[in-house]
Amino acid sequence: MTNDEIRGFIDNAIKENSVMLFMKGTPNQPACGFSARTAGALNALGVQYAALDILPDPRIREELSGLSGWPTIPQLFVDGELVGGSDIVMEMFESGELANLLGAEQPEAEDVEPEPQPVQQRPLGLENRLQ
């Protein structure tokens, strides 16, 4: 794929999914703690979301950051708008603002800290789902 095709794919993913998470790894196998916490917050709220692993091709990250203007991963988009990275998402989760934005019910106080998924090592054979 060309860089323009990758950018188009990313742009379509943001437009077609009301909640879109670009992360390192997958929600079931995050490859960094920041991605694990962000996916954990979304999982704790019980919302449906799409996720794309940026690791299979470095151009995914480059094109995403060029499109969003945000340099770090993960990046969460809601209704086509960038919400932010892990720190912003976690602040919004803890305050209840993320639940409000997503139309979800905020978990009870004792359940407010999302359960982080264990960080998994990436397998050697990476699947590039953009092709």
Mean pLDDT for the stretch of residues 22-49: 95
User: What's 128's DSSP letter?
Assistant: -
CATH of the domain at 93: 3.40.30.10
Q: Which two tokens stand for residue 30?
A: 């995050």
Question: Cα 10 vs. chain centroid, distance in angstroms?
Answer: 12
Distance CA 86, CA 88 (A): 6
Q: Is residue 118 part of a domain?
A: no
Task: Indicate the pairing of strand 81-84 with strand 75-78.
Answer: antiparallel
Q: For residue range 56-83, what is the model confidence (pLDDT) as tens digits?
A: 999 999 999 999 999 999 999 999 999 9
Indicate if the pLDDT at residue 12 is higher than 70: yes
Q: Is residue 10 part of a domain?
A: yes
Q: Is residue 52 part of a domain?
A: yes
Q: Which two tokens stand for residue 43?
A: 């999982």
Q: Is residue 79 part of a domain?
A: yes
Containing structural domain, residue 61: 3-103
Q: What is the number of structural domains in the chain?
A: 1
DSSP helix/strand/coil, 101:
helix
pTM: 0.82
Q: Is residue 49 part of a domain?
A: yes
Query: 1 with 39: CB under 8 angstroms?
Result: no
